[in-house]
Structure 1
């Protein structure tokens, strides 16, 4: 509606009077200014309804689990090493307290950060200020996450340079429709630091979310924890060590820990922490120690197979030692330089289904990136021990050398070695403060930890039921098999008998037809159990059966090829081991200036072959499980990328990117070999198309989670598929491959035209669909695979 000039003057006068007042009412000034801006005849401006905040909170953060995980991530971004999450239910009501020891906020940071919608802070500061962490929280979602969880919010925050902190009260119910967002004020006052002192936190932020909107089950709390699990590692939070370098002073990241508890009428109930997230799912737990007399001991336990070795004090890391373990001829572990030191290691084997499927991807990825045995001295972590490329205990070397057959690389462990003030021995840092001097004490400690871990794995692996632990053992179990061909031949013979069976006499056929008329008579000419089959049905059965027999014969041949590949893969692994051993010997014999580069390149190629054989061996082994498993596509794609990441020749460079939109990319039970076949075929076709296009190759694998399906879009920037061929690509024996005389020998990959046919039948067999879809800019071909999503109940049961 139009306002008169007098209305405009009235608003203006009120604003002037308010600005002239000795006690300013900021809310009234903002309200009058907003109203005055609406009367501007020459310009119009956007205004924001206060209810917009409520809608953003409930719509932008639809899941409560996502909301909680985002708040935990904000603590990580604030350089906290600890966040405590407490669900409290008592006579007062329900509330959620989230306390961290991060940097806290100044008044300016509170106003321009937390209280500002769509702040650009995280965009400007991609990494945290103290530990240089890559920020994990989504931009601007934290405040809406708090609004999503409860009706009221209390914020207490303190910096370490301030004596006290700040307190803000927000009631989300005040953000009503028809109110201007800017005029709703939230009181901020100074407060003491008592909430932080009781946990010895010098700084941090406490969010108290009152009147929770939802009830929380234990599984929902665990799911929220899992959403933030990529930040959490099962290592102790280290004391902060400041490092001075030419680039200035910085702090080493101590790690990040989160603990969630529930309090019911004052009773504390632990819900989940990193032990629940990772360590309780370990295949085995190994501990060892050296006592005050220099005697060494180790022990291995496994809740997975209900096994406890008891305390051992001898080494059995070779076949001879293990065979003599019961003859009392092995020497006890004894050291001369070290006293009072201990270690603990948690053992994981991705080849064994001991980790719940929903955690498998997270655990596997963190093992790959952060697995190892870390060293702590007086609470401080000592680098580089336990870093990704450090092999201070020679665990990776033992895995590559196959001294024992179970996997024992650094990426199979989360573990720590602790040197405490009570430890006796000469342990001193090198001048660069990166590592310890290799004294007799250090070397004794290293040998003790390494030998104990290997001995424990040998002991556990036999207890686990594996019959072959050392390469020198020969114990094979042969299993019978059912002849698929005999079964098919029997079916074909039955069809032939059905086709050659005598026709019924005409009068008998007429009697049978009369059964469908009103007057039903008893016909004794057809004995009990006789069956009348129309000739058309016989012909139909015969036609379909012959078609299926032809298809089955083709798949029998392919299955035979697959079995040959499985045996071939098994044999190749041992050949790789022999070649690798000899190359290492050559590397030791030749001076570095002779052939060392060539040998290193050969060893790299050997590792590539090892990666390929491990990938295919895992696929073959999955077929032994008749029921299959819940397929975590994220995990399978990552394993595939690991297998091929360093296997490209100089003329064969293809960049592969992966994009994730969702969290649980889980399909119903099936064999992983099925999905691996899809990946291998699509990847192979993409490489051929890239060769033909003569471009720098790019492949994009996108995974997306919807309410009912899990989608994978596989794209490449190759030569593309012409319109006339789009309808033919799934046909049997149709191929666009032609001999390319300009290609290198490595690139001459000619197909039979069965790959996409098989892929389609695998996808349809899994209850899904595959088709071409419109590619994104920069790509020429995209295949979209849609598979049904596993039921929430199955996922929760598996978790």
Structure 2
């Protein structure tokens, strides 16, 4: 029955088509609709259809922000070889206003309107990646930018004047009334009109009516910000052309640049107002340039005339996915001594509004990189967490990364034009840009004698005393005259800066001393508690030993059987635990005894390590640890030091190794200690096969209270982790002329710490 009805319907449609074709003026839409229904009734084939409301969704979902929509339309003018685009807002302070965008580009022919403008997601710009007159690289290639007009307003009057033709074309689009849910996109037609014009008149005019959003002054300022930064600010000045554009012919192919005018204000005037290039970027403390060549080799350069820095480094890593990349940045520190007299508040405000590292692809900006809340290089995150102590927020940089479609084919914008696809090439680009900026700013910090990372040890900042500056001013000051003051305002400001810097230095030293004092108080209280513990254990040793002997005699008198066997097993465990307790008690008592005299003595390194091994051999056996000692030079002796401090170093290393190996869940745990003489230092190496130490923590592990083992299992010896152990080791090493550091482990091990002290003279 269904097949019969379908066949009957097909016959009706064929008759309708035949009747329409016999007319003098057939209605081709009727024929097209009937023909499409015949094709769709084919029982052996299906095809997609498109709801007319899909046009609405494209505009709303692919273009999220109104500034992005305007930027996309400006890019279209650029692609059409326009030299100027004019934006005029009318009644824009409330919804329902009008925006007219007009350019002097090449315009569109009837065929281009049908094949490109009216075709969703066309590949026309991919097929022709460069513009025909000025050979510009196309800014858009996905064929969706035109739907920005739907995002902006309810109605569009599209008017285009193709170059060289005596007529133009006009099309009206009613987005909200024609493209509605339930209608087939094939059934929505827009009438195209022709109008007369001069052959040399060319360009495109978009009149967007009934704007969906209000455009108050702050919104238009955001558009200006987007326009100014649409192309890289370092080269924007070279693209500006004063006065009217000179006539352009296809024979010259000289690109005169691209100008934007919004409500009568030109881009040149606005750039002057923001003063990005001329009055601000020239005040940068340093200039950073970096590049990746076609072979993946990277180089980074940093130059600062103010600090006499001109450094360059070649990156060891190869960047095989990015393709050739260029990076440029101006680096600012918003302090009086780095701004050469520029107002700090003004400079800081510029940083907040315009700072950041932007990405430009084919000469046009890719959002959101470099926006105020964007942190694609994770600079703000690391500065806020004090992983970096140098000024390295996004607002400290004014720069860009330059990409090109031909040279960097793995980088593609998302369909919403809000960012690049985050593939492996993007990850590689991010790592390169971050490394280049961090290396450069660390070089500047070093030149300024500033602490660079939270874990940088042994750092001593040079601070000029205010009295030295005043003395220098007096010595260099000529005799005062009636017309000249004894001390100028500039010299007063120098003294003020010196006083503020010195006060800040004193406060930092005071804070550091308080923190260190707090650590010492904690250690002192721990030391007293441990001393009492050791004394009590030693005092209880005799009584507990006697009780255990009596208990053993009672067990021996019990008849054989399961109960006696169970009690004997429990007794053996109790005996082992008590022996371990007495070992620890004796160890602590011995440490306290050797420390009480405060006498320093030369230590045999091999003897101290072997004694430590014997003391903890039972515990290490219980922990399934295979212990290796490699000290071939038995004559090695340290400079005079406390034996308890040397033991404390080894114990801290051991407890950390045990935690690391537990975390790694290795079946066979290995710990190795070696010692050797290098110059006048004895180097003690301690290795394990645990999880190792991440590179970012290699300096931080020696900071007080830094720990990665909070909440871990406490077995009575290793402890839960307080973050003080390796800080104590570091202080012991430094107090005896040595140091402690993470080193490269030998084969079979994943972590190596090296502790050094002065050898016996």
- TM superposition score normalised by structure 1: 0.39
Q: Could you tell me the TM-score, scaled by structure 2's length? A: 0.41
